[in-house]
Amino acid sequence: MRAAVPTVLLLLLALNTAWFVVYSASLGVQGLVADAPGTVSRVFFEDALVANAALALHMFAGALLTIGAPLQALPILRRRWPAVHRRSGYVLFGLAIVTGPGGFVYILIKGTVGGWWMSLWFAIYGGALIWAAAATIYHAIDKNRPQHFAWATRLVILAVGSWIYRMHYGIWYGLTDGLGSNSAFTGPFDQIQVFAFYVPYLLVAEVFLRRRLRRRALR
């Protein structure tokens, strides 16, 4: 019974991200093909081909990464179909390599709606995502299972981070009608959210991973 818990949690996670995955991928496609990208979303501009394309590609790759990462971690896939797990692992790495730099290019050219503070934390997020994807692959090739597991855990958290960000906003607006938040993303809630969608989750995971490593060492 207890063995089924990770599978159920990962499936629930993947299922819950589905709306955001569809939203992000379709926004990315619309941003790429639209004659007037500025009318699609405030994140696109009429005169910024490179920034628009980078952001659109990052939305499309990020969408696949968001749902792909929890599915990739499913125990049944890892144990029963290791060859599929291996191949899709490289695909996810490729998606992270498009998602992170796509966001970086946009930040460098246009910045973010929330200014330097938001740009800084989004850039750190992108760096962490690329780092975690590279470390996950590296330790898989190195056949270091505990480290591969640890980095894969961090990667799943970062991969679903953009969805967590929207969930935080949805819940907060539902509860408080947007207290401490505004359309320029300069309210106290907005300024905390730029890191609160991944840093606390990574810290909780760290406690769990350290306990797991200690238990393994004792055994």
> Residue 13 interacts with ligand HEM (CB under 6 A)?
no
**Which range touches ligand HEM (CB under 6 A), out of 97-105, 176-184, 192-200, 203-211?**
97-105
Residue with Cβ nearer ligand HEM (5 or 131): 131
Query: Distance (Å, rounded) from C-alpha 210 to C-alpha 179?
Result: 36
Closest CA to 175 of 183, 167, 186: 167
CA distance 73 to 213: 18
Q: Residue 56 is encoded by which pair of tokens?
A: 């659109």
* Interaction residues for ligand HEM, span 55-74 (CB under 6 A): 58-59, 62-63, 65-66
Choose, by CB under 6 A, the member of 54, 70, 126, 148 that binds ligand HEM. 126
Pull the structure tokens for residue 211: 């306990």
Sole binder of ligand HEM in the list 40, 54, 107, 155 (CB under 6 A): 107
Task: Report angle CA 144, 156, 153 to the nearest 5 degrees.
Answer: 35
Q: Is 191 in the site for ligand HEM (CB under 6 A)?
A: no
156 lies in the site for ligand HEM, by CB under 6 A: no
CA–chain centroid gap for 159, Å, is: 3
Is residue 162 part of the contact set for ligand HEM (CB under 6 A)?
yes
Q: What is the rounded CA–CA span in Å between residue 64 and residue 29?
A: 13
Rule CB under 6 A: say whether 92 interacts with ligand HEM: no
Among 10, 13, 14, 24, binds ligand HEM (CB under 6 A): 24
Quick one: tokens of 11? 């499936």
The tokens for 137 are: 């692959």
Angle between helices 82-110 and 116-141 (to 10 degrees): 160
Residue span binding ligand HEM (CB under 6 A) among the ranges 4-12, 85-93, 125-133, 194-202? 125-133
Residues that bind ligand HEM (CB under 6 A): 24, 27, 41, 43, 58-59, 62-63, 65-66, 99-100, 103-104, 106-107, 112-113, 122-123, 125-126, 129, 159, 161-162
